[in-house]
Chains A and B, each alone.
Chain A
Amino acid sequence: MDERELRGLVEQVRVGALSRRRFVQMMVGLGLTAPLASQMLASAGVAHAQTKSAAYTPTKRGGGGPLKVLWWQSPTLLNPHFAVGTKDQDGSRIFYEPLAAFDPDGNLVPVLAAEIPSLQNGAVGKDGKSVTWKLKKNVVWHDGKPFTADDVVFNWEYAADPATAATTISSYKDITKIDKLDSHTVRLTFKNPTPFWSDAFCGYRGMIIPKHVFEPFKGAKSREAPANVKPLGTGPYKYVDFKPGDIVRGELNTTYHMPNRPHFDTIEMKGGGDAVSAGRAVVQTGEYDYAWNMQVEEEIMRRMEQGGRGKFETSPGGNIEHIQCNQTDPWKEVEGERSSVKAPHPFLTDPAVRQALNLLVDRGSVQEEIYGRGGQATANFLNSPAKYVSKSTKWEFNVEKANQILDAAGWKRGPDGIRAKGDKKLKMVYQTSINAPRQKTQAIVKQAAAKAGIEMELKSITASVFFSSDAANPDIYARFSTDLQMFTTTQASPDPQTFMEQFASWEVSSKDNKFQGRNITRWRNEEYDKLFRAAETELDPAKRAALFIKMNDMVIQNVIVIPIIFRNKVQAVSSRLRGHEISGWDNDTANLCNWFKA
């Protein structure tokens, strides 16, 4: 799909011939993210969808009793700028808020902002180098001090300072200055034209901490701030107690800036244990109201749901379980480095072999038998509900066709049934981390490969080693010392740019960069690089979307990676809980102020 066709679709939405939601789903099917799709509509002058706040029925603040939620991996710190995983962000989000949040369709919804900036209202600069945010005026911090533009400026200074070692630094470091236009207006200026200006101060990484509390603890002293474990924010609940790794407790914020909210008098986020028993406590015994990240087998979920006290819900996000094909030779050492770009892979550089491999991954069985509603079989590297899969990137499981391709490419079966060409034999090592669904997936792939004359040796590595950044260990995924490897890559950002950078040639993981480069397949392609550079500065969302679709197609058609399952966010929800609308593009607790019990 090119730019012209995209514009046609946007036009159809504008005149009402195509529903907004359907458009977003189509874009997601093409490998884009929902926030990017809704940005395309916004820039074409299609109004933002009205937020469905009508669903919130409580008519007064409080009175809802306690809200009890389970995070089986519980927060270990509550400073959003230090959050290591989503668990820490989710915990912080009870107390802290960003300027705007992403709803399930990827739309920006104002939280601490008075309105969403756009080209139409003149708040987004035409050159893409600035954006102006108007802040809500009636917001106060939990200690009664007013929330102002100074706080926004401070958060940028705090996070962008490398000495602070904030995990949010990449969202803030490219802002060259923030001007305080008045007490409640700020203008952000970017170094380069920035199409995705809503990275800073929005969603996951946009939570704002108070200047008057954190100012003495900027830079190297940041870890000494008492407020790192005693949050003081603007959120719907106020801090009561926090025990790292165990429990977070909060109570109703009587000065919250939204009317009649929040509904619950107290909130308790309990941690520890495992996903299955957390699901039980919500769905079967009803002890708890909500449980996060249910990595539970489909069959167990169905059995638990029979009790009727709750159910498992899913929301699409951006995580993808995929197989990577090494483009370099892991078995040859060049200047002390395996998988060096100087040694191309003996047979994975042959497109025919990769095409065949792609046909040998039985995504249908993997979805049905292993992931259930927790995942969707996909051909795209980002995400794709089966209905809207683009024709150019369709998945197929076909052993016969794989055999034909290999035959045609001259890979002949040897006496042992394994294909070979010259002295190269189709024998590969396929590694992943230790995790039951992954070992089952490996077995399914290995079986199909054997039928096509490819021998696979399976290797599984403890997750703590596989995902570590210990450059000296050959088993880490970034060194990729085998032919194939499989893991889930998290998108964690509503914009695909950072995500797609993992195929850019300058990101190649190597000994020189201590294996910190993100291009782990070591695939290098000039055309891809050019497309990426163009997308970086392209301000027209439709043109930019077309570029990303093209990049996605290149990766898929060349079979650099073999996407398997697009993993949904799955959560256990009490049947009495309402208004939670979990967004796959933001924290589970992003919408907490709207949660209530029927």
Chain B
Amino acid sequence: MSRYVVRRLLIAVPVIFGISLVLFTILALAPGDPFEELATNPNVPPEVRMNLRTQFGLDDPLPVRYVRWLGSMLHGDWGFSFVSRINVATLILQRLPTSLFVLGSAQVLGLLIALPIGTYSALRPYSTFDQIATTLAFIGFSLPTFFTGLVFILVFSLTLDWLPFIYRADIPATGWRWWWENARQAAMPVAVLGLFQGATLTRFVRSAVLDVIRLDFVNTARAKGLSERVTIVKHVIRNALIPVVTLVALQIPAIFTGAVITEQIFRVPGIGSLLISSILANDTPVIMAITFVFSCLVVIFNLVADLLYGWLDPRISYR
């Protein structure tokens, strides 16, 4: 086991290194200029722009820039934003709590929907409940979030006037009002993301439970005289959850990058909206930091998912 972990970690190093090289090269070769807005402003002399480019090391050759970036990244320095002129780490840390809160809640909401509905559907396949749940799940994951988001705004903000559609990270209130305001503003983005997530997961849970419920050990459990409740909860769901847990573990890195589109629609100041505005502004250090951290998380959580899998299912051994 520990040998397996060590081997996987050692493989991860060149992978991450390769990813960083590819990302850096693509970003460096991509057209665009972080000081492009200055170029169209007649009042800013070109020397200022040239001076800024030199100051931020944009005129150095590509390999030099890459080595410099790698060096500081190894020291834990994520770089310096061209646009905001502050450290990238500060910029990301400002956004992280909001992203974690909104996407985390959405993930939890998705699971809360998917687990009971998926299990119940699988226990009574092709019943009316299953048919309705399946239909809704299909509708749910075929509607893109930008569409449901706009429909929600139209219904709950513009027509009914119940919920605000602009998200504010720090609400100037305390106590109960703070909780209430936060719940109100988070309701729509969390619902949009959670329902989408839930729809996908419902189908997944249903098929996983369906696979397990036909197996012999379930019949054995029933034959032993265990109650239906105990059979389902202790024997069926536990085993059916193994692939679901893997899936959820693999989705955790996505929480970090945020939900780009939903964040844009509701003005949620998360990592996703930071990524988009940085791309639009050609703020390469920020784009680089976010995409690189995301790649690292994907690599790490792949490993975590593999390990969890073995822990949940002792039949799987690591070599």
A residues at B contact (CB < 8 Å): 66, 70, 76-77, 79, 82, 84-85, 162-163, 165-167, 169-171, 205, 220, 223, 228-229, 241, 243-247, 249, 266, 268, 270-274, 277, 280-281, 284-285, 287-288, 462, 464-465, 467-470, 473, 478, 487, 489-493, 498-499, 501-502, 513-514, 516, 518
Contacts and interface: CB of A to CB of B under 8 A. Distances in A.
Contacts, number: 159
A244 B55 contact: no
Nearest to A167: B44
A162 B51 contact: yes
A514 B49 CA distance: 12
A469 B85 contact: no
A277 B166 CA distance: 9
A478 B46 CA distance: 12
Given A247-B170, A270-B267, A469-B33, 19 more contacts: A66-B172, A77-B84, A84-B35, A167-B44, A170-B43, A229-B86, A244-B81, A249-B170, A266-B172, A271-B267, A287-B166, A288-B166, A464-B36, A464-B282, A467-B39, A467-B40, A468-B33, A469-B35, A487-B40
Contacts of A467: 36-37, 39-40
B264 A272 contact: yes
Contact of A469 (B47, B49, B51, B274): B49
Interface in B30-81: 31-33, 35-49, 51-52, 55, 80-81
Contact of A493 (B39, B42, B91, B157): B42
B24 interface: no
Contact of A246 (B172, B265, B269): B269
Contact of A270 (B37, B39, B168): B168
A249 B47 CA distance: 33
A547 B158 CA distance: 53
B232 to A, nearest CB: 45
Contacts of B95: 243, 246
A446 to B, nearest CB: 25
B41 A277 contact: no
B85 to A, nearest CB: 5
A84 B33 CA distance: 13
A285 B269 contact: no
Contacts of A468: 31-33, 36, 39, 282
A85 B49 CA distance: 14
Interface in B166-213: 166, 168-170, 172
A223 to B, nearest CB: 5
A243 B35 CA distance: 20
Sort chain B's interface into a size bin.
35 or more
Contact of B83 (A77, A473, A501): A77
User: Which 6 residue pairs spanning A and B have beta carbons closest together?
Assistant: A246-B269, A516-B46, A244-B84, A469-B39, A468-B33, A272-B267
Given A70-B166, A167-B38, A247-B169, A284 B158 contact: yes
B45 A169 contact: yes
Contacts of A247: 168-170, 269
A36 to B, nearest CB: 16
Contact of B269 (A228, A243, A470): A243
A465 B31 contact: yes
A223 B44 contact: no
Given A167-B48, A272-B267, A287-B166, A465 B32 contact: yes
B243 interface: no
A201 to B, nearest CB: 15
Contacts of A76: 81, 83-84, 281
A478 B44 CA distance: 15
B141 to A, nearest CB: 25
A77 B51 CA distance: 18
Given A244-B86, A247-B168, A287-B165, A489 B35 contact: no
Contact of A166 (B48, B55, B94, B153): B48
Contact of A470 (B33, B40, B84, B164): B33
Nearest to A163: B51
Nearest to B84: A244
A273 B265 contact: yes
A220 B277 CA distance: 27
Contacts of A490: 40-42
